[in-house]
Structure formats: C-alpha cells, structure tokens
Amino acid sequence: MKRLVVAFSVWAAALSASTANAADTCSYTVTGASGFLCPVSAGAFLCLSRSPTTGACDTPLTCLIKCGSTFCLAQLRPKSGPEPQCALRTTRLRGLQCFRPFHPAPTPTPIVTTVNVTLQEFMVTPDQSSVAAGHIRFHVSNIGEDMHEFLVIRTDLAPDMLPTNSDGSYMEDGPGTDLLDEIDLVPSGESRDLDINLAAGNYVLICNMVHMEEGGEVEVHYQLGMRTAFTVH
C-alpha cells in the first residue's frame, strides 16, 4: 500500500505541473482511459505540444502514459487548434507518448470488364471484340442445342490457324499458343462465368468440343467455325 501512495504522489506532482505558456500547443479532451493508477480520466482536459506524431491538433490521439510500474492508455479528442499557451482548465502532463491511429489505405475495388459471349452452332460471339487490360469476366451463354466449351487462348496466330490434333480439334498449348483458362461445359440454355486477368495482347476464343452425332458423324466445333479473335489493349 505504501508503494501505491508513493506512485500516486509522483503522478499528482505531474498533474500539477506547469500550465505556463508553451509555444504551439493543442488542447484535448480525454474520452477514455484504462490501466493501473491512470493519472487521467474521461472528461479531463490535457495540453500537448505539437509534434510530427500528433499532427495539427485536429486528429484523435491514443496516448501511452508510463512511469515506474504505472501503465495507462488514454484516448484524446481535439478540443482546440494550435494555441500560444494551454487553454483554460487544461493540464500539461509530462511523459506522454501520443500517436495518431493508423488507418491503412483502403484496398481499391478492382475494375471488372464484363464481356457477354454467346455460343451456338457454330459461332462464338462476344459483344465486344476489344477491351482494356485488367480483370475480365466472360459471361458465357449457350443459346444453341449442343453442349459447348469456352477456351481463352493467348496467341498471335489467326483464329483459323491454331495447331490441331489429328481429328481437327485445337491442340491445347500447341506451338505458338497458350491456353489460359476454360469453361469445360456449358449446357444448352445455361450460362457460366469465367473471371480472368488479361494483359494487353492478342487472343482467340473458341469452342473445342468434339462429339459424335446419332448418325455417326463427328462434329469438331473448332473446325466448324466456333472461333473468334479477341484483343486486349
């Protein structure tokens, strides 16, 4: 108990410290305080000298007050702007370490460009043939009768000049091409989304479905015309 009395006496002396003139000072209202033997409480007024960590007297502060075994955290709200001396009824408390709350810069919302694509026998039709580089959302709708696929290929080759397998379908990642992403199946009458980041360059959008009709005829959708150029700038 004796040590507590001594510690309190130290704080009392600090609280009664100078309210004399100080160059460039700011007044604050204590809005909250917590800790052991905290020398301030909510509703009190404090006076601080301006500093790079406290700013221009217009920002709420969090202050650490520590002396010996005493530890206290206080929240301050600006009461007045810069003054030549401490405002009336404010206390100039020594030993404060005050700082402005850190507010990280908000993460910008990515800009998404939506490209609507229709698939049908035997065409791939985007509503835009050229878009800006960035995050692209392909909204792919199958308005045909057959099942279709949707592939995004980066290449400088013409849409009808992609490397092919023996059956005439596109050879995935064949020479001069880079298959970036795909929607495996888009059933008739349904839609699927594909989100992808695309850099500036030339691309080809295709359906690479191969299936056999009831009569035994094999349909290779790429060879039948389901391909189109797409540019990102």
155 and 201 assigned to the same domain:
yes
- In this structure, is residue 80 part of a structural domain? yes
CATH of residue 161's domain is: 2.60.40.420
What is the reported pLDDT for 95? 65
149 and 223 assigned to the same domain:
yes
Domain boundary residue, one of 68, 99, 130: 99
Are 165 and 177 in contact by the 8 Å Cβ rule? The answer is: no
What is the reported pLDDT for 22? 41
Please return the burial class of 148, using the count of CB atoms within 10 Å of its CB with bins 0-12, 13-18 and 19+. buried
Domain boundary residue, one of 99, 133, 149: 99
Rounded (10°) CA dihedral 187, 190, 195, 196: 40
Per-residue pLDDT of the chain (233 residues; tens, 9 = 90+): 333 333 333 333 333 333 334 457 888 889 988 887 788 888 888 888 877 777 778 888 888 877 666 678 889 888 877 777 776 666 666 667 888 777 777 777 778 999 999 999 999 999 999 999 999 999 999 999 999 999 999 999 999 999 999 999 999 999 999 999 999 999 999 999 999 999 999 999 999 999 887 777 899 999 999 999 999 99
> Where do we find the tokens 């998404």?
112
What is the reported pLDDT for 18? 39
Are 64 and 97 in contact by the 8 Å Cβ rule? The answer is: yes
What is the reported pLDDT for 21? 43
129 and 227 assigned to the same domain:
yes
Query: What is the residue-wise DSSP string for the chain?
Result: -HHHHHHHHHHHHHHTS---EEEEEEEEEEEEEEEET-S--TT-EEEEE--TTT-SS-S-EEEEEEETTEEEEEEEEEEEEEEEEPPTT-B--TTEEEEPPP-PPPPPPPPEEEEEEEEETTEEEES-SEE-SEEEEEEEEE-SSS-EEEEEEEESS-GGG--B-TTSSB-TT-TTEEEEEEEEEE-TT-EEEEEEEE-SEEEEEE---EEE-TTS-EEETTTTT-EEEEEE-
Buried b (16+ CB within 10 A) or exposed e, 29-49: bbeebeeebbbbeeebbbbbe
Cα–Cα separations (whole angstroms), residue 158 to 64, 130, 161, 206: 67, 15, 5, 12
Are 93 and 26 in contact by the 8 Å Cβ rule? The answer is: no
- In this structure, is residue 105 part of a structural domain? no
- In this structure, is residue 40 part of a structural domain? yes
143 and 43 assigned to the same domain:
no
124 and 213 assigned to the same domain:
yes
- Provide the domain count of the chain: 2
What is the reported pLDDT for 89? 65
Q: What gap in Å lies between CA 228 and CA 233, rounded to an integer?
A: 17
Show the domain range for 75. 21-99
What is the reported pLDDT for 114? 96
Domain boundary residue, one of 40, 70, 99: 99
Phi-psi region of 166 (alpha: psi -120 to 50; beta: other; left: phi over 0): alpha
134 and 54 assigned to the same domain:
no
Does pTM surpass 0.95? no
Say if residue 230 is preceded by a cis peptide, omega within 30 of 0: no
